[in-house]
Amino acid sequence: MTPHEGQASNRADGNNVGGSVAQFNNARDVYIDSTRPSPPRTPLDDAADKLATALRKQWQHEEDRRKVPNPGPLTIRWDLAPDALTDHAENIWGVPAEAVPDPLPLAGELSQILDVYERIPSGRLAVLGRSGSGKSVLAMRFALEMLGPPGTSVGVVPVIFGLGSWDPVTPLRDWLVGALERDHSGLRAATPDGPTLAAALVDGRRVLPVLDGFDEIAGHLHGPALKALSSDLGPLLLTSRPLEYAAAVTEAGALTSTAGIQLQDLRLKDLEAYLPRTARKKPSGEPGGGPDGKPLGTIAPTPWTPVLRTLRENPDAPAAARLAAVLTTPLMVMLARTVYGKETNRDPQDLLDADRFSTPEALEDHLLDEFVPTVYQDAPGVQRWLGYLARLGTDDLAWWKLGSSLGRSSRAWVIGLAAGLVVGLADALAAGFMFAVILHTHSPVEAVWIGLLNGTAFGSASGLVFGLVYRFRHGDKACEPSRQSIRILSRTRDDRERRTLRSVVAKPSLGLAGGFVFGFLSWPLAMLLLGANEGFEYGGFMNYVESGLWAGFNAGILYGVSAALVFTLMTWFEALVRIETAVSPSALLSINRANVLFQLLVCVLLCGTLGGILYELEWFRVADWFVYVVVGGLGVGLAYGLGLTAWGHWLVLCRVWLPLTGRLPWRPSAFLRDAHDRGVLRQSGAYYQFRHARLRDRLARQGRYEGPPGAGARSADDHDPAGSITA
């Protein structure tokens, strides 16, 4: 076959593949072919550029955190994947069956990944490699290369998606759109044609899915997942371990129109060029690693020099062979670099100790076990907290889901207890202060006693209601955080146009119904508890029932109307986070904290005002206003914030309960950021993830927490002023 001449070509060897590239009929051509006249810019172009800006910042920051460019990237190489795991060449080229396509020259190394990808006419590439071989680093480097330097306008935006959470029952297109809207809420804005920006980008082939971790999908779903991926012929880059991918190909057939490469093991010369640069130079006069004590190559002698010399000169020695077998993946080299690097006084020659490490697996376990103690030398004792995170059994560590290890009933009990406490304290404060200070009808001792009785009754009733609501509404699934911020003065036209009749009516209606139900249930129950304490001496049992129902009806109106107005204001002032703003867990946490505090402020003001308007218009007194503000606004508002919002659940479960039981430190947000800074965790959008699944699995198997409650009193961030940031 002779390719057509005169078409765009991106092959490194200069051969023309433009005839088939022209068949790549999607927006990727915009990126490849720079000779076409630039069409007028559209809102979708602006959205793509803003998304690219956010992703470029996020992934460059992440690459720096992982020390990929420091002191320089390891040389990750690959060759063609086994032919049985790739589709027919005719399908990859998009040519008739009788044609004889040229073989694709896909061998290369990390710095060439974008160039290699652009040689594939179909734009579909599977990257295979064993655990720790550098697949995720390659995916990140590919995305950064395609995004280009800051200020670059791209036609297609590469977006890395962690594929482990995908269930192929959900169409891939819908899952991609949902993930984009989740991590970049600005893409929820509607386009002039109706769909959201995220949907328009996916449907218009303006997003190149980089699907990382096919092997992390549940095993029984590998076949169905591969079939689903084959049904969509859009461009993609997919990473997987070879065994899981081969099993899926056996079940479902090769991924349609997809070429494949397989990552190769590191070579000794790669180690010689890399490891010495990560260690301290030996003092003058100490022997080097080369002949006559001279360094290997041009690199000054370091503690790694004699180790590498042994691997080169005695490769068949059992200890050398074991170590050489271990140091064939970037993961193990990264661990070895950290455990035996500049910041430690360890001698890497220990790795050649045949008595300690009789198998390659023993060496790998040693490096995995020593990684966390090494990066936390100044903050020992964090292993149990990381172990708790590892045992959650999820790839994505979301701050709003960290309390999921507790059973549904336990979570409901803790949430109900917290809600009941704040309502009870508010009621006790209001009753005692009103009778002793404002009305002067009781002595301070009597007022305190009345306050305690009222607080216990109303707190117990409110806690029971909130606990039951939580159990049946959020018991099986974590409360999702809001991805919209409150913006009063700087709302955009898109923010105003995004509001629909449904959005303006739905939340206030829910608030009206929820507030009324809470008041109508909690007040009669509280009255019965007070009556039981008094022996129902004022008119008997039925009088307390009737009084409770009437009080509950009135309280329900007050709470319902207040909640409806609060949600109306929230809907009015909510604004999507700007697309170009990089997503982070701490930013999302801050947004939700601000939203809850805004709700609380509005609730306090409205309950006091509405209480006077609805019930005390003719004889509105300071005492009554005080009760409405403290009990209705502050108490119930706080109870709602703690019991029915993602930030409230985080505060109750992760800032209080889990630290009390020793499973997390007292400042978990700072602890997570610190673990990310130290390279134990990585960040993917609004989630944290363990740097590698093997590290997570090793931590999960190690010593489960056995310390006493309260052992989480200090965290790894206590040494770091940055840790002082609030929840």
Task: Give pLDDT tens digits for 219-237.
Answer: 899 999 999 999 988 999 9
Omega of the bond leading into 373 within 30 degrees of 0 (cis): no
Residues linked to residue 161 through DSSP beta bridges, in sequence order: 211
- Going by pLDDT thresholds of 50, 70 and 90, the confidence category of residue 393 is confident
What backbone phi and psi angles, to 5 degrees, belong to 622? -60, -40
111 in Cβ contact with 97 (< 8 Å): no
User: Can you tell me the distance from the alpha carbon of 237 to that of 216, in angstroms, rounded to the nearest whole number?
Assistant: 16
- Please compute, for residue 271, the number of CA atoms within 13 A of its CA located in the half-sphere on the CB side: 27
Mean pLDDT in the chain? 82
Q: Could you give the percent of the chain with pLDDT greater than 70?
A: 81
The pLDDT, as a whole number, for residue 592 is: 92
With a cut of 70, say whether residue 6 has pLDDT above it. no
Which one, of 236, 168, 227, 225, lies nearest residue 202 by Cα?
236
With a cut of 90, say whether residue 106 has pLDDT above it. yes
The 10s digit of each residue's pLDDT in 621-648 is 656 666 667 666 788 888 889 988 999 9
- Across 17-42, b (16+ Cβ under 10 Å) vs e yields bbbbbbebebbbbbbbbeeeeeeeee
The 10s digit of each residue's pLDDT in 548-577 is 788 888 878 878 888 888 888 877 777 777
Higher pLDDT, 501 or 608: 608
The 10s digit of each residue's pLDDT in 707-723 is 443 444 444 444 343 33
The pLDDT, as a whole number, for residue 282 is: 75
Joined tokens for residue 169:
């029952």
Question: Pairing relation of β-strands 484-486 and 574-576?
Answer: antiparallel
User: Can you tell me the distance from the alpha carbon of 238 to that of 328, in angstroms, rounded to the nearest whole number?
Assistant: 22
The 10s digit of each residue's pLDDT in 410-431 is 888 999 999 989 988 888 887 7
212 in Cβ contact with 139 (< 8 Å): yes
The structure's pTM equals 0.81
The pLDDT, as a whole number, for residue 56 is: 93
The pLDDT, as a whole number, for residue 38 is: 62
Q: Could you give the percent of the chain with pLDDT greater than 90?
A: 43
User: Can you tell me the distance from the alpha carbon of 585 to that of 393, in angstroms, rounded to the nearest whole number?
Assistant: 19
The pLDDT, as a whole number, for residue 660 is: 93
Helix (H) / strand (E) element for 565: namely helix 540-573
Lowest mean pLDDT among 81-85, 285-289, 510-514: 285-289
249 in Cβ contact with 198 (< 8 Å): no
Domain 18-263 in CATH 3.40.50? The answer is yes
- Going by pLDDT thresholds of 50, 70 and 90, the confidence category of residue 103 is confident
The 10s digit of each residue's pLDDT in 428-479 is 887 777 776 666 677 777 777 877 887 788 888 888 988 888 888 776 778 8
Strongest mean pLDDT among 80-89, 186-195, 279-288: 80-89
Sequence-separated (6 or more) residues with CB below 8 Å from residue 391: 405, 700, 704
Residues linked to residue 212 through DSSP beta bridges, in sequence order: 162
Helical packing angle, 585-615 and 668-677, nearest 10°: 160
User: Can you tell me the distance from the alpha carbon of 476 to that of 382, in angstroms, rounded to the nearest whole number?
Assistant: 29
Residue 481 vs residues 101, 552, 599, 686: alpha-carbon distances, Å = 51, 30, 14, 11
With a cut of 80, say whether residue 270 has pLDDT above it. yes
The pLDDT, as a whole number, for residue 438 is: 64
135 in Cβ contact with 238 (< 8 Å): no
User: Can you tell me the distance from the alpha carbon of 711 to that of 714, in angstroms, rounded to the nearest whole number?
Assistant: 8
The pLDDT, as a whole number, for residue 22 is: 37
User: Can you tell me the distance from the alpha carbon of 539 to that of 537, in angstroms, rounded to the nearest whole number?
Assistant: 6
User: Can you tell me the distance from the alpha carbon of 657 to that of 674, in angstroms, rounded to the nearest whole number?
Assistant: 21
Domain spans, the chain = 18-263, 268-375, 406-662
Average pLDDT over residues 184-209: 90
Joined tokens for residue 53:
């800006």
Block residue for tokens 């363990």: 690
Give the burial class of 417: count Cβ atoms within 10 A of its Cβ; 0-12 exposed, 13-18 middle, 19 or more buried. middle
Residue 578 vs residues 53, 185, 485, 607: alpha-carbon distances, Å = 11, 8, 10, 33
Give Dmax over CA atoms of the chain in angstroms.
105
